[in-house]
Amino acid sequence: DAGVTQSPTHLIKTRGQQVTLRCSPKSGHDTVSWYQQALGQGPQFIFQYYEEEERQRGNFPDRFSGHQFPNYSSELNVNALLLGDSALYLCASSWGTDFSLNTEAFFGQGTRLTVV
Amino acid sequence: GNSVTQMEGPVTLSEEAFLTINCTYTATGYPSLFWYVQYPGEGLQLLLKATKADDKGSNKGFEATYRKETTSFHLEKGSVQVSDSAVYFCALRSGGYKLSFGAGTTVTVRA
Average pLDDT over residues B75-84: 97
Q: For residue A99, name the pLDDT band (cuts at 50, 70, 90).
A: low
* Pick from B70, B67, B65, B62: nearest CA to B88: B62
Q: What is the pLDDT of residue B94?
A: 81
The secondary structure element, H or E, covering residue A92 is strand A87-94
Out of B4, B49, B96, whose CB is closest to A56? B96
Q: For residue B84, name the pLDDT band (cuts at 50, 70, 90).
A: very high
Please give the single-letter amino acid code of residue A78.
V
Instruction: Mark yes or no for CB contact B100/A45 under 8 Å.
Output: yes
Task: State the average pLDDT for chain B.
Answer: 93
Cα–Cα distances in Å, from B43 out to A92, B38, B53, B68, B76?
Answer: 10, 6, 28, 29, 22
Out of A31, A41, A99, whose CB is closest to B103? A41
Q: What is the pLDDT of residue B40?
A: 86
Identify the residue among B33, B36, B44 best suited for mutation to test binding to A, counting A beta carbons within 10 A and taking the highest. Answer: B44
Q: For residue B98, name the pLDDT band (cuts at 50, 70, 90).
A: confident
What pLDDT digit, counting tens, does each position of A17-27 carry?
999 999 999 99
Could you tell me which chain A residue has the CA closest to the CA of B98? A45
Q: Examine the pLDDT at A58 and tell me if it is beyond 90.
A: yes
Q: What is the pLDDT of residue A98?
A: 55
Q: Please state the separation of Cα B28 from the chain's center in Å.
A: 20
Give residues with Cβ within 8 angstroms of B106, minimum separation 6: B9, B10, B11, B86, B87
Q: What is the pLDDT of residue A63?
A: 98
Average pLDDT over residues B45-72: 95
First to last CA, chain A: 36
Q: Examine the pLDDT at A2 and tell me if it is beyond 80.
A: no
Contact (CB, 8 A) for B99 and B34 = yes
Q: What's the farthest any 2 CA atoms get from each other in chain A?
A: 43
Average pLDDT over residues B31-37: 94
